[in-house]
Amino acid sequence: MTNKMRKIADLRSELGSSQQGALGLNEYQQCATQTYRGPTYTREKYEFLLLGLFGEVGSLLSELKKKQRDSNSYLSYKASALEETGDVLWYFANTIELCGITLQEIANEALPGISLRTFNDLQPQNSLFHGPANSAHVRSGLLALAGSVGTLLRRSRSLDHGESIKSGLSEIFAQLVAASNDAQIDLGDAALANLSKVLSRWPIQRQWGDLLDAANDSTEQLPRQMLVRFEERQIEGRLYVCQSMNGVDIGDPLTDNRMLEDDYRFHDVFHLAFAGILGWSPVLRSLLKVRRENCPKTNKNQDGARAKITEEGIANWIFSHGLRHQAFEHIESVDFDLLKTIGEMVKGYEVERLPPWAWEYAILEAFRVFRFLRKHRGGILSVDMDNRCLKISSLEQSVELGRTESSLQGQ
């Protein structure tokens, strides 16, 4: 089995599909529409999709421009162009779905003469290796594609144009195939990469798998249950936040270490969120003395200084980014560029295997707890690694709970 077919098989397994062979046109469309998370009202959704389609074609042109400007120094062109083409396909598939048309139907109208059912039918593989067209020709094809999308966007003020809309969509698809051939972009690869990307962000079903240190000795695992007390204290005229577990302080008391206070002294909640939800925190491993010393390679490469610096860098960056967005209050998602950058930062570490949606959940949960701590100036954080969740209560609530427990014991 080729690497490409293995990836298709893995995706089908995740989707619960029993299909075989090359990636089907309608199969891709079905998955693309399942991962849609935009406006639902028909008019708003239609305009949203067309604007997205136009924007992604523009991004594809931008990649070509950078390649022409920077020539051989722009090494990420191939991967970026493949990703942008996949995004074009995603918006296109969702647009035609809204119009009640299948991708296979559009493909056969756009490229008449042969029966098209899969991406392999769409682009016979030998046609992709005759050598790319010159940049001017590729640019001309992409500009024509952008123009056709723009025309459709201008004239399609309703979904009632029937054959007019279908004709415009067929023209767009034919130009996309032609431009992809000229630029040596395999649309099947682009579709496959796109499905992998969208499912890593918006999975059909969330599957966590085992915790990262599940196979390690229990004495070298992160504690599955943690109860951490955050308390503000005044020490020599300055405010510090102290964290403790079971009455024992963990780490040093923290200040904001900044002229303009921003409550960074509560930032250890991010390390606890990484541990509780992702099952990863080299920083917390050191603080709790659960580094995996029985496995020297893991201890050095996964729990060592560089891993801790990477985690601190991610926590600091996420914190600063979140504060620019009101600590993500009333926000249900994190921008994908941030998640992709985190993915690049953790390459080579065990947490690399966790998908963007897991990071997004950890970040949003960390900020939910941070906002509570900032408002109440402290609290009790319960970390449940087995269930990947965080619970926060105020210090006053914990005092009342303690009183209730004491009174019950007295009875």
CATH number at 3-201:
1.10.4010
- Tell me what pLDDT residue 411 has: 37
Q: Where are the domains of the chain?
A: 3-201, 218-410
Mean pLDDT calculated for residue range 60-66: 81
pLDDT tier, 409 (very low <50, low <70, confident <90, very high otherwise): very low
Give the Cβ contact number of residue 43 at 10 Å: 11
Q: What does pTM read for this prediction?
A: 0.85
Predicted confidence (pLDDT) per residue in 96-127, tens digit = 999 999 999 999 999 988 788 999 988 876 55
Query: Given pLDDT bands bounded at 50, 70 and 90, which one contains residue 159?
Result: low
Mean of pLDDT over the chain: 87
Q: What is the pLDDT of residues 227-256, one digit of tens each?
A: 999 999 888 878 889 999 988 888 888 887
